[in-house]
Amino acid sequence: MTESTTQNPIYDIYPPPIPSDDILEPLIPGKFNYVKDIHDRKLYINAYQAITLTEMWDFMKGEPEEDGYMFCSHPNLQKIGAKMNELFGGYVNNPHSGCSFACTMRNMQYIARFGELKFKNSNLH
């Protein structure tokens, strides 16, 4: 028998629990401190703030027009995009491409529908 088995045989069958991320790093809504990629985190924070300031969370629960978020011309999405530009300090400073905007909006839609905690616990980020 190994030394660990003689000291506490239960650990050979059931290892001690690992603290969850929620204990180590509490969820602060809209801060995305659990997103490791700094660029993605910046995009998510910006979009979250823009949607909050334009009061468009209910709108984000729905599906975009038939062309998806990349080509959607809905006035509410244009308001969100304009607020994102404003928060970035103008259109020139906005780091989004059409693709990154669409992906970010899809992630914000997930948050609008299911909540940020479920987004955090998913592997979508």
Q: Is 107 exposed, middle or buried (0-12, 13-18, 19+ CB in 10 A)?
A: buried
Residue-level length of the chain: 125
pLDDT of 107-123, one tens digit each? 999 999 999 999 999 87
Statement: the pTM of the whole predicted model exceeds 0.75: yes
Q: CB neighbours of 26 closer than 8 A, spacing ≥ 6? A: none
pLDDT single digits (tens) 17-59: 555 555 556 788 999 999 999 999 999 999 999 999 999 999 9
In single-letter form, the type of residue at position 32 comes to F
Cα(14)–Cα(35) distance, integer angstroms: 30
Q: Whole-angstrom Cα distance, residue 65 to residue 25?
A: 37
Domain map (residue ranges) of the chain: 20-121
pLDDT digits (tens, 9 = 90+) for 70-101: 888 899 999 999 999 999 887 777 888 889 99
Residue 17, Cβ density class (10 Å: 0-12 exposed, 13-18 middle, ≥19 buried): exposed
Nearest Cα neighbor of 47 from 73, 81, 93 is: 81
